[in-house]
Amino acid sequence: MATKEQIIAKAKAAILDFDEDVAAEVAQESLDAGVNPADLIQDGFTAAMTEIGDQFEAGTLFLPHVIAASEAMSAGVAVLTPELERLGSETKNKGKVVIGTIEGDIHSIGKDIVATMLKIAGFKIIDLGRDVPIKSYVEKAKEVGADVVASSALMTTTMVNQIQIEEQLKEAGIRDSLKTMVGGAPVTQDWATKIGADLYGENATDVVAKLNALF
């Protein structure tokens, strides 16, 4: 039987190798071994995605690699999801979060990690994916009765679209019934304040802490 450390190391390697099959296998192995899925995600999958993100920033990896790695992570997380939901239902459901990477932006590492960590923390996550049109955030928020609408932007050219979320939620008449949260590399607290967003999430840990404080 592999130790928890070995399983986590294998999870990390699966992402760094862009291997969906191994990511799914190691997720199953971790469940069989009784490893807490939150630990596997945080210390294995997320740690690897952070490294991939750093390599992408440094120019040693390119967008197809990033997408392949995040698909491998998704394959692993999909196996863990039923168990996460079971654990999540034991902690009371804290709120519904509609999350996505904003229109024009195809980077989803940060958003994927945030969505996963919130799921572990007991939030109900409606993940719209990447390159999400503004109207999709608004429609989905209305449809599910969202408590939070969170958007991630990784480029200065796309973060301006976050203003539109504020505007269109107001037009739809639901802005006052929910909180908005913005995040992503170029996004700052100043920007959040300027556009009227309720919250700024610096990273996954920060997002979980701030939303836990709200609910």
180 DSSP β-pair partners: 149
Residue 89: the pLDDT is 66
Tell me the mean pLDDT per 10 residues along the chain, length 215. 94 97 98 92 89 87 88 91 76 86 87 86 92 97 97 92 98 98 94 98 89 91
Residue 66: the pLDDT is 86
Question: Could you give the dihedral angle defined by the CA atoms of residues 168, 173, 177 and 183, in that order, rounded to the nearest 10 degrees?
Answer: 0
What six digits make up the tokens of 18?
């862009």
Show the domains of the chain with their CATH numbers. 4-90 (1.10.1240.10), 96-214 (3.40.50.280)
What six digits make up the tokens of 20?
């969906």
Q: How far is CA 7 from CA 30, 47, 54, in A?
A: 6, 14, 23
Residue 88: the pLDDT is 66
What six digits make up the tokens of 154?
């990784």
Residue 90: the pLDDT is 64
What span, in angstroms and rounded, lies between the C-alpha atoms of 148 and 181?
A: 7
Residue 6: the pLDDT is 97
Neighbouring CB atoms inside 10 A of 215's CB total: 15
- For the chain, the three-class secondary structure string (H helix, E strand, C coil) is CCCHHHHHHHHHHHHHCCCHHHHHHHHHHHHHCCCCHHHHHHHHHHHHHHHHHHHHHHCCCCHHHHHHHHHHHHHHHHHHHHHHHHHHHHCCCCCEEEEEEECCCCCCHHHHHHHHHHHHCCCEEEECCCCECHHHHHHHHHHHCCCEEEEECCCHHHHCHHHHHHHHHHHCCCHHHCEEEEECCCCCHHHHHHHCCCEEECCHHHHHHHHHHHC
What span, in angstroms and rounded, lies between the C-alpha atoms of 154 and 132?
A: 13
